Amino acid sequence: MSFIKFNLPVNRLVRSLITVCFCALLFVSNVFPAFAVTSSPTKGEDKLLGIEKEAQEAVLKDPMSLQETQEKASKGPNEVQGDADIDKMKNPSNTNATSFEQQVKKAVSKIKD
């Protein structure tokens, strides 16, 4: 009879542990997709070979003059990259991600309707 009394708290502990693990799984599965809002899971990472080539050339040669630096910086985001692979870079104009504020406004408008 004492075996049954000992087994009951163990069952409750196991059930509680399973419940906590299930809740943690639900939480993680809901949170991690938010980190991937701007990336496409089917596309993968773009190869920015032009940027890599420009950066390697900049490291291997002597420092650029002021005129060279200004000329390259006017072409793109910085003086090392210039305009290398600028069409592949992510920026607000070529992403379809919505901001958190827009998502909240959309959810609130759905609730009001």
pLDDT at 37: 57
Distance separating alpha carbons of residues 32 and 43, to the nearest angstrom: 18
Residue 17 — pLDDT band, cuts 50, 70, 90? very high
Please tell me the distance from the alpha carbon of residue 86 to that of residue 50, in angstroms, as a whole number.
9
Distance, in Å, from the CA atom of 61 to the CA atom of 57, rounded to the nearest integer, reads 6
Task: Name the pLDDT band for 6 (thresholds 50, 70, 90).
Answer: low
- Cα–Cα distance measured from residue 39 to residue 43, given in angstroms and rounded to the nearest whole number: 8
DSSP the chain: -HHHHHHHHHHHHHHHHHHHHHHHHHHHHHHHHHHTSSS-TTT-----HHHHHHHHHHHHSPPPPHHHHHHHHHHSSSTTTTTTTTTTS--GGG--PPPHHHHHHHHHHHHH-
Give the pLDDT mean for 28-46: 63
Q: What is the pTM of this model?
A: 0.33
- Choose between 56 and 43: higher pLDDT: 56
Report the pLDDT value the prediction gives residue 103, as an integer from 0 to 100.
86
Structure tokens at 40: 């496409």
